[in-house]
Amino acid sequence: MILQLQNITKQYCHRNGAVIKALSDVSASIEKGQFTAITGPSGSGKSTLLFMLGGLLRPSSGSIFFNGQPLHNAGDNALSEFRKNNVGYVMQNFSLVPYLIAEENVMVAVSLLQKDKKKQKEIARGLLAAVGLSDRMDHYPKELSSGQQQRVAIARALANNPSIILADEPTGNLDPLLASEILNLLKELNTERGITIIMVTHSPEAALYADKKILLKDGCVV
C-alpha cells in the first residue's frame, strides 16, 4: 500500500461565514504501481483529493499515510521533502515557462537535484527523449503542439524519478487523438517504470486506462 486515506474531511470557511465541505469522510487506498483514476462531476472534490494525496493540502480531519508514514500531521519541511523525493505533477494547462525552450523547462526541475549544469542538461535531454521529443528539445512552448507541450510537462515531472505521478486533467486541453497519445504515455510509464499514476479526469474514456477508479460525488466516495 503506497497511499492510504482514512476518514478524510476537508472543509473551508467561505467569506460569508458558511462552512463548505470539499471532502467528507473519504477513505481509499492505492497500491504501489497502480494506475488510479479519480472521477466525478465538477465540484465533487477530485482536485482537492489529488492535492491532499500529494501533500499540497492538509485534511481538516482524518489520516493520510505514505508507505505507512503519516502525512496528515507532518510539518512543512517534511511535506516538502516528501514531494521533492516522491511526487511528480502534470497539470491540465502544462505550466511551462514560455521564454524557455523544452530542454530548459525540464532543467528547471532537474536543477533541484543539485547536479552540475552538464549533468542537468544530460538528464533533461534523456527525459525528453524518453517522452518522444528528441527532435524538439530546442523549441519554445509556442512552437510545440498541445500534445508536445504536455510531453514536456511529463518529462519535467519525471525529473526527480518519482514513485508517484499526480495528473490533474492531463488531457483536458487536448483533442481526442492527442489525449490518447498522452494517456498511452502515462500508461507506459506506469507499466514499464512501475510509477504509481493518480489521475483526475472527467472523461470516461480516459478513466478506462486506469486499473482502479475512485468516483466522487459531493465530496464523498460513491
Bridge-based pairing of strands 220-221 and 87-91 is unpaired
Rg of the chain taking only CA atoms, in angstroms:
18
Backbone angles phi, psi at 63, to 5 degrees: -130, 145
Global pTM value: 0.93
Element (H, E) at 104: helix 102-110
Domain 3-221 belongs to what topology? Rossmann fold (3.40.50)
C-alpha cell at 159: 525529473
Rounded CA gap, 133 and 184, in Å?
Answer: 15
* Per-domain residue ranges of the chain: 3-221
Please give the chain's pLDDT, 222 residues, in tens. 999 999 999 998 877 777 888 999 999 999 999 999 999 998 899 999 999 999 999 999 999 999 999 999 999 999 999 999 999 999 999 999 999 999 999 999 998 887 788 898 999 999 999 999 999 999 999 999 999 999 999 999 999 999 999 999 999 989 999 999 999 999 999 999 999 999 999 999 999 999 999 999 999 999
Q: How far apart are CA 133 and CA 96, in angstroms?
A: 15
